[in-house]
Amino acid sequence: MSQDEADWELYYWKGIGPGRGEFVRLVFIEAIRMSQDEADWELFYWKGYGPGRGEFVRLVFIEAGVPFKQMNDNEKNRELFKNKKLTGYPCFAVPMIKKGDFQLCQTPVICKYLGKKFGLYPETEEDIWHAEQVNATVHDYIAEGRLAFHGIDHTASYFGQEEGTKPYIERFIKTRLPSMMETFEVTLKANGGGNGFLFGSKLTYVDLGLLHILRATEAQFPEAWAALDKPLLKAFKNRLEARPKLAAWFKSEECEPFSGNSMM
Ligand SMILES: N[C@@H](CCC(=O)N[C@@H](CS)C(=O)NCC(=O)O)C(=O)O
């Protein structure tokens, strides 16, 4: 162990009050807090299977301009999550974010947490709760869409159930897709006519979630998307995709193309 890595020791009296030792203790305590704050954000997710649920989280980091490290070694993640070798606070599945000792999973919860932390968050009490509501609907949509591609066995790969799951995909395209898109269209419209963001006059983590499912829908169901008469949603998607940090990300090599077999 190098000298730098050795544990610091503080020699002081005990039992006669904090004394001058307290000056030193406070410096250590604040330094530890700061080093936690400055620790890198890490995002645990799969690599090579498409943007997946990880993309909801990436878009929040990217729009906020906050650097993050992609922990996307599939073998290591399999060991941690499938073989249950993860230490620290229990997390069921990726995506998971980690900073210092803090780790958190469940995509809608992660996005809300980061949105609040990075200022991509509504301003009023009512908007905060409506944002929560719309965020839940966004994640219902992606979960139902994904399920349609796994109609026979939702824990197995799409490959192996391509034929059997076709009716579920057809039903999703005919029923849930238009119904939920209509809900998103009118939700957008409810905020001053629908030419800005979902809530108030600032972008939030929910706008980014909606952007992702619109992109996933277009990629997965190009015909249904083209036929969809939802002018506000389509303009919203174009507007958000053109934001400089997001546009740069979508063009980058690191941004994975949609897999085409589960909206992911
Ligand atoms: N409800 C969770 C679902 C997480 C989830 O299903 N993650 C997928 C990747 S998108 C996974 O790796 N699942 C492994 C498993 O369910 O064991 C969320 O929104 O984060």
- Residue ranges of domains in the chain: 41-116, 121-251
Q: Which tokens hold the place of 75?
A: 């073998």
For residue range 59-92, list pLDDT tens digits in order.
999 999 999 999 999 999 999 999 999 999 999 9
Mean pLDDT for the chain?
Answer: 94
Mutate to test the pocket of ligand 1, among 107, 109, 212, 261 (most ligand atoms within 8 A of CB): 107
Residue 131 has pLDDT above 50, yes or no: yes
CA of 28 to the centre of ligand 1 (A): 39
CA of 105 to the centre of ligand 1 (A): 9
Please report how the helices 205-220 and 125-148 are oriented relative to each other, as an axis angle in degrees rounded to 10: 20
Residue ranges of alpha helices (H) inside the chain are 21-38, 54-64, 74-77, 107-117, 125-148, 166-171, 177-189, 205-220, 222-227, 231-241, 244-251
Per cent of the chain over pLDDT 70 is 95
Residue 184 has pLDDT above 50, yes or no: yes
Q: Which fold has domain 121-251?
A: Glutathione S-transferase Yfyf (Class Pi); Chain A, domain 2 (1.20.1050)
* Of 73, 74, 72, 103, nearest in space to 90 by CA: 103
Q: What is the mean pLDDT of the segment spanning 198-205?
A: 97
What does the alpha-carbon distance between residue 30 and residue 70 come to, in Å, rounded to a whole number? Answer: 28
Pocket lined around ligand 1, Cβ cut-off 6 Å? 52-53, 93-95, 105-107, 139
Q: What residue's CA is closest to ligand 1, atom 6? A: 93
Mutate to test the pocket of ligand 1, among 49, 75, 92, 147 (most ligand atoms within 8 A of CB): 92
Give the pLDDT band of residue 161 (cuts 50, 70, 90).
Answer: very high
Residue 34 has pLDDT above 70, yes or no: no
Q: Output phi, psi for 261, to 5 deg.
A: -135, 35
* Answer CATH for 41-116 from 3.40.30.10, 3.40.50.2000, 3.40.640.10, 3.90.1150.10: 3.40.30.10
Ligand 1, residue 54: give the atom nearest the CA.
10
Residue-level pLDDT at 6: 63
For residue range 56-65, list pLDDT tens digits in order.
999 999 999 9
Give the pLDDT band of residue 30 (cuts 50, 70, 90).
Answer: confident
CA angle 117, 123, 125 (to 5 degrees): 105
Give the pLDDT band of residue 1 (cuts 50, 70, 90).
Answer: very low
Residue 156 has pLDDT above 90, yes or no: yes
In this prediction the pTM is 0.87
